[in-house]
Structure 1
Amino acid sequence: MQEKVGRSESRLESYEEKRQKVSQFNLTSDIFFGKTVEDIDACQEVVQILTRKELKIKSVKTQYSIRKVENRSVVLDVLAEDGNGCLVNVEMHPQEDEDHVRRVRYHLSSLDMSYLEKGTDFESIPEVYLIYITKKDFIGRNRGINEIIRVVDGTGTVLNNGVHELYVNFEGTADTPEQRELLDYMVHSAADYETGTFPHLAARVRLLKEKKEGIDIMCDILDRERAEGKAEGMAAGIAAFILDNLEEHKTEEQILAKLVKRFSLSQEEAGKYLAEYIPKD
């Protein structure tokens, strides 16, 4: 009987530890945000409130990779599509201090290239909403949502190229009460929050933060991210080790033996790493 009680307490403690870990997340985290808006209804609420358009989302992909053989690849936080074939890319970059505008430019070009097949007309390029979310108002207009419109200088004539470029931040004033509520909620993302403005989004956050199913999902993601980070760190360490030994003019056999011993690799694994740095005739 005592053993059963002990196992029960252990499971309860484990669950509470996981719940506390996940409770620290909010929607400004790209990992948590992406997992939350995988739910189509939740994604639609975010998109409709920020764009003030009745876009009907039919599919959502998160951490969507657009790979380019010759150039830099890009991973989109959220890529959704509505019933009319319009694409919606939502990017969460609250902490990054970089050239946000040029990053958006690259994302847009990557989307166009991925959807425009050779020989097709330019008219087939889909309409795109790109919603780029930052913490700071780097534009400096004290507006929570800024939409970029292409206007011919001095004429007021708008040239519509099918791109709707929105920069969203948590500091500026919002145009509507719904937008202000959503932006504030993204920052705190309380699990017990009740609202009629974005009920599906709030319910999804509640699931991921309070329900065992959701907590397990988030903990699995964290474990996988940690493992991938560890693997990347090890690969970087191995690369630096090989380059240092090559600079010391160590032979291939010497470096191979050192790799096996230093990093607990098999001969085959060490050989694969070394092959990346040893030129072949």
Structure 2
Amino acid sequence: MDDDFMKRCLKDNIPAVECILRIIMEQPDLTVLSVHIEDTIPNLLGRGIRMDVHAIDSTGTEYDIEVQRSDKGAGARRARFNSSLLDLNSLKKGNTYDQLPESYVIFITENDIFKEGLARYHINRIIEELNRPFDDGEHIIYVNGDYHGQDDIGKLMNDFRSSKVDDIILEPLKETVNRYKNNPREVAAMCADLEKWSMEERAEGIAEGIEKGIEKGIEKGVKKGRVEGRAEGAELFAKLLKLLQADGRTDDIKLALEDKEARERLYKEYHLE
């Protein structure tokens, strides 16, 4: 139930993601075409999202898979927000609304947040007066990580909870976890990824902190981000961090945080002067 370890295990790992989705979706013939870890959808007018796992299957259906140990991180409004930005990024200019693909936001939670003992909870819109589905193609699924059944979803949740390779049941997951726990080269690669993700999360946290400070009318320098100046400069820095994060420029994020000259150069590159 560690989202960083899971992201590394599932990076470019179509068989493992396919195994997970086939069980959650109850579709044994589901075919995954692409998997992206830490896929970011920026939103320069507001908050963006960074998905743990973004997958697309052979029908074009999109999946945002999130692992959450904290119940608060899997709130209803977050599910709604993730789903809305997933849609925003899916419909290309010139496409009709009918071309918007089916989408699933899937939260795998450590606890049974609905406390009903079910393996899954499906959330879909309905027409209340008619008591029938409103088929807009948007779906949210909560998977109960505390479920201990003997069926396939129970086996999957067992594997998510297991800290020992020998306790894992599903072969695609067992092989992957064994590789990242016991192969020195893969362990080193995983540590490098964890450092990269930590830097990106630091940048995102600083940008959000700056924005909140501006909203409260704070016009002092933002020491945490090592930025000097008033609120106007802080707002500019927040925009720069968001743009660098969206472009995956981890090294430049570090430079922006630590080097004033490099920061000025990046301002010019992104025309933020």
Same structural fold, with TM-score higher than 0.5 when normalized by the shorter chain? yes
Distance 1:180 1:120 in 2: 40
Task: Look up the equivalent residue of 1:129 and give its one-letter code.
Answer: Y
- Which amino acid is 2:4 matched to? I
Are 2:190 and 1:218 aligned? Answer: yes
Give the alignment's TM-score, normalised by structure 1. Answer: 0.70
Given that 2:148 and 2:158 are in contact with CA atoms closer than 8 Å, whether structure 1 keeps it comes out as: no
Aligned to 2:226: 238
Query: 1:207/1:137 Cα in 2 relative to 1: closer, same or farther (>3 Å)?
Result: same
CA distance in 1, matches of 2:113, 2:258: 47
Superposed CA deviations along residues 96-148 of structure 1, whole A, max 9, x for unmatched, are: 52561110111111011111123321111011122111122222322121111
Larger RCO (CA under 8 A, 6+ residues apart): 1
1:203 equivalent in alignment to 2:175:
yes
1:42 to 9, 13, 16: 16
Superimposed CA distance per residue, residues 70-104 of structure 1 (whole angstroms, 9 cap, x where no aligned partner): 12111111011111111111111112525611101
Alpha-carbon distance in 2 for matches of 1:264, 1:78 = 30
The residue aligned with 1:116 is 91
Q: What is the distance in 2 between the residues matched to 1:180 and 1:123?
A: 36
Paired residues for 1:88-99 under 5 Å: 88-98=63-73
Please tell me whether Structure 1 or Structure 2 has the larger radius of gyration of its CA atoms. 1
- The normalised TM-score by structure 2 is 0.72
Superposed displacement of residue 64, structure 1: 0.2
Distance in 1 (CA, whole Å) between partners of 2:123 and 2:201 is 36
**CA distance, structure 1, for counterparts of residue 176 and residue 47 of structure 2:** 33
Separation in 2, partners of 1:143, 1:169: 7
RMSD over aligned Cα, in angstroms?
3.2
Distance in 1, matches of 2:50 and 2:201, equals 16
Structure 2 unaligned runs (5+)? 207-221, 234-256
Q: Which amino acid aligns with 2:153?
A: Q
**Distance (whole Å) between structure 2 residues aligned to residue 50 and residue 205 of structure 1:** 19
- Paired residue type of 1:219: C
* Aligned match for 1:153, one of 115, 128, 135: 128
User: Which position in structure 2 is the counterpart of 1:23?
Assistant: none
| Paired residue total | 227
* Code of the aligned partner of 1:83: S
- Larger CA deviation: 83-92 vs 228-237: 228-237
Q: Determine the structure 1 residue equivalent to 2:44.
A: 69
> Identity rate of aligned residues, in percent?
23
Paired letter, 1:52? E
